[in-house]
Amino acid sequence: EVGQPSIALMADAPSLPLIQELLEEAPGKQQRKPQVLGHPLQYMLELYQRSADARGHPRENRTIGATMVRLVRPLSTVARPLRGPWCIKTLDFPLRPNQVAYQLVRAIVVYRHQLHLAHFHLSCHVEPWIQKSQTNHFPSGRGSSKPSLLSKAWTEMDITQHVRQRLWNPKGHRVLRLRFMCQQQKGSEILEFQWHGTSSLDTAFLLLYVNDTHKSVQKAKLHPRGLEEFMGRDSSLLLRRTR
């Protein structure tokens, strides 16, 4: 069982990546399955059905373009009350400490661009949270031209460049911070709005498309060049001995 000492010992062996992953990613048996419902789960189920058959065999014609897709939910949100017609929420997406060991293929933020809450009809978009004096690397347009798994109220935005430049390096921040900004639709009466009834999960999530590079690292270790270098060192030893 996951978490037992014998498996913990096995995880020390670098040649057991599956065991390592089970320890890192699997919730403990005693832990209840985290509650994941709603749009994120639906989105990932559709992505799965497009990419693999019912028995788990990856489809030949899959267009996913990566061997791994992680859906990251916002960790915390700070909501600011309405300022004029605008209301703003700050979303923090935590990245895993070892995440940069993987090759980033694509980063997408998926968010609701239309919110209908009680008497409010809001149009929304996301922006990077960037300190003043830094430039905005987000695309100016909204949405994605790729075939979407989304219903009408949701939009995808490609933020690969932003994530790659600011977060995908060993010294990068471990948190992607975005601003989720909503405006009351024109013509509707401006009312005092609070973010009641909108959890962070209801408004946005992050998708990281990555490739596992562990295999290529292992292959590199076994690459003949390594052997050549070793042989080179060895032959110099031999030469010294001869001398």
Partner 1 sequence: QAGRITSWVPGFSKEHDGPKSNQCSLHPFQVSFHQLGWDHWIIAPHVYTPNYCKGACPRVLHYGLNSPNHAIIQNLVNELVDQSVPQPSCVPYKYVPISILLVEANGNILYKEYEDMIAQSCTCR
**Which SS3 state, helix, strand or coil, does residue 157 take?**
strand
- Give 170's contacts (C-beta < 8 A, 6+ positions apart): 100
Q: Which of 6, 15, 35, 98 binds partner 1 (CB under 8 A)?
A: 35
Binding span for partner 1 by CB under 8 A among 46-54, 118-126, 172-180, 191-199: 46-54
Per-residue contact flags (x/-) with partner 1 for residues 196 to 215, judged by CB under 8 A: ----------------x--x
Q: How far is the CB of 38 from partner 1 (least distance, A)?
A: 11
Contact 160, 137 (CB under 8 A): no
Q: What is the DSSP letter of 52?
A: B
Applying CB under 8 A, does 32 fall inside the site for partner 1? yes
CB burial string 182-205: b at 16+ within 10 A, e below: bebeeeeeeeebebeebebeebbb
In whole angstroms, how close is the CB of 72 to partner 1 at the nearest point? 5
Which range in 68-76, 124-132, 177-185, 228-236 contacts partner 1 by CB under 8 A?
68-76
* Candidates 38-46, 142-150, 151-159, 173-181; binding stretch for partner 1 (CB under 8 A): 38-46
Question: Applying CB under 8 A, does 239 fall inside the site for partner 1?
Answer: no
Return the amino acid letter for 20.
Q
Q: Are 209 and 239 in contact (CB under 8 A)?
A: no
Q: How far apart are alpha carbons 122 and 116 in whole angstroms?
A: 6
Closer CB to partner 1, 26 or 190, in the complex: 26
The answer to whether 36 contacts partner 1 (rule: CB under 8 A) is yes
Residue for token pair 């995880």? 11
Q: How many angstroms separate the Cα of 90 from the Cα of each of 78, 118, 178, 188, 213?
A: 5, 22, 6, 24, 32
Indicate whether 40 belongs to the interface with partner 1 (CB under 8 A). Answer: yes
Pick the stretch among 18-26, 128-136, 168-176, 188-196 that binds partner 1 (CB under 8 A): 18-26
Site of interaction with partner 1 (CB under 8 A): 1-2, 18, 25-29, 31-36, 40-41, 44-45, 47-48, 51-52, 54-58, 64, 67-73, 212, 215
